[in-house]
Amino acid sequence: EAQVTQNPRYLITVTGKKLTVTCSQNMNHEYMSWYRQDPGLGLRQIYYSMNVEVTDKGDVPEGYKVSRKEKRNFPLILESPSPNQTSLYFCASSLRTGYEQYFGPGTRLTVT
């Protein structure tokens, strides 16, 4: 089944403890992206990647890192999480720029 998977689905952590949210797609998509969803703000893009080893900032990249070492994986790294990063995170992918984006199921992160 073609899909975007994220792990974990739920995570509660403490301020300053490094964490990684994984994202993987099995559709051989070139483009991948991370969004965060906050009440009253909709979805905002954090980082995106056009292809392996090519990443760039979205609208709200502060406090996040990403890497794209393999085509199928696009992990989101929070080196020192803070409470304002408490949010619902979505990974998305598309065949390439201009094609439909497929979204993962989301990761709900709580930072205390």
Partner 1 sequence: GDSVTQMEGPVTLSEEACLTINCTYTATGYPSLFWYVQYPGEGLQLLLKATKADDKGSNKGFEATYRKETTSFHLEKGSVQVSDSAVYFCALRPMGGGSNYKLTFGKGTLLTVNP
Q: Which is nearer to partner 1, 17 or 72 (CB)?
A: 72
Is 21 an interacting residue with respect to partner 1 (CB under 8 A)? Answer: no
Q: Residues 65 to 84: which contact partner 1 by CB under 8 A?
A: none
**CB 16, CB 10: distance < 8 Å:** no
Cα(51)–Cα(29) distance, rounded to whole angstroms? 8
Place of tokens 């439909």: 100
Q: Which residues bind partner 1 (CB under 8 A)?
A: 4, 31, 33, 40-45, 48, 50, 56, 58-59, 90, 92, 94, 97-101, 103-106
